[in-house]
Amino acid sequence: MMARRPIMLAHIGSSQIKRTRWFAAQEYEQAFWQRRATSIEDGTAGQLDWYDWKACRLEEHLASVPIPRSKASRVLEIGSGPIGIVNSLEWGERYAIDPLEQFYRQRPSLIRLRKPGATYLPGAGERLPLRRASFSLVIIDNVIDHTFAPAEIVREISRILETRGCLYLTVNVHTVWGAILHKVLAALHIDKGHPYTFTSWTLRRFLARHGFKILREETEDYRLVKRTNRRSPSLRERIKGYTGLSEFQHTVVCCQSAPVSKT
């Protein structure tokens, strides 16, 4: 029996940054994956098994959350890249959507790493071609600060989540000082891949403002990351460590704080 396809176009609202800025971020991302594909082809890079590790982390965070994990559960990953966490999950009807999907399909070294079972769609999180209330879990892993309009993405997530569905989100955040520096770099296009900047506090406020309640969260140790950056052989990483630009991961599992009308 064919899997049910939760496809339906949704409305997209206004943006927060210029499209030229977002296109620059997408070019940056595409160049990264082009280099990665080339490295895999010539044997100088591994097979992207970090996604298996990320999937294990997701399972750990979901362990204490009352979310159904069965073959019938629908899971969507927004901004999955060529593989995504969904590739390593062993349950659910899995979907992934990414603006660069057409580019990935032209890179056999990336596509052959996909396991059977997940459906990959071209598209952006600001306009999900998916039905309302059709997913029990949405994953957005290290993506929200790379996007065109984060607020529109979160509104779309709210629209497609089931009433008791959950959002699993990770993002690299900064201290207040690091955020100020990073915003300057982003405005100057020195950091082309990250149009937006979050601190742990602004992330919490952002989610609350859009109707999400945090059920579980974890923040990486900033001091440890800073020390690691300072000891890195990479000049760029050492600069981060000594200037306060070190970024550290903030992970949240959240649900909608109040029932949302899905009509």
8 in any annotated domain: no
Return the CATH number at 25.
Answer: 3.40.50.150
Query: Quick one: CA dihedral 173, 176, 178, 180, positive or negative?
Result: positive
261 in any annotated domain: no
| Tens of pLDDT, residue by residue, the chain (263 residues) | 334 443 333 333 334 566 777 787 888 889 888 998 888 888 766 667 889 999 999 999 999 888 877 788 999 999 999 999 999 999 999 999 999 999 999 999 999 999 999 999 999 999 999 999 999 999 999 999 988 899 999 999 999 999 989 999 999 999 999 999 988 887 766 676 677 889 999 999 999 999 999 999 999 999 999 999 999 999 989 999 999 999 999 999 999 976 544 44
102 in any annotated domain: yes
Angle at 172 between CA 56 and CA 146, to 5 degrees: 105
Cβ neighbours around 67 below 10 Å, total: 17
Instruction: Give the pLDDT score at 6.
Output: 39
* The two three-digit tokens of residue 20, written as one number: 């030229």
1 in any annotated domain: no
* Coil vs helix vs strand at 81: coil
* The two three-digit tokens of residue 234, written as one number: 């990479």
Cβ atoms 252, 217 nearer than 8 A: yes
Distance in angstroms (rounded) separating the CA atoms of residues 35 and 32: 5
236 in any annotated domain: yes
Q: Report the number of distinct structural domains present in the chain.
A: 1
Q: Give φ, ψ of 244 to 5 degrees.
A: 90, 10
Instruction: Give the pLDDT score at 140.
Output: 98
The DSSP bridge pattern shows strands 135-141 and 248-256 to be unpaired
12 in any annotated domain: no
43-51: long-range contacts, CB 8 A cutoff, minimum separation 24: 47/113, 48/82, 48/83, 48/113, 51/83, 51/84, 51/85, 51/87, 51/88
Which residue range(s) make up the domain with 192?
19-256
262 in any annotated domain: no
11 in any annotated domain: no
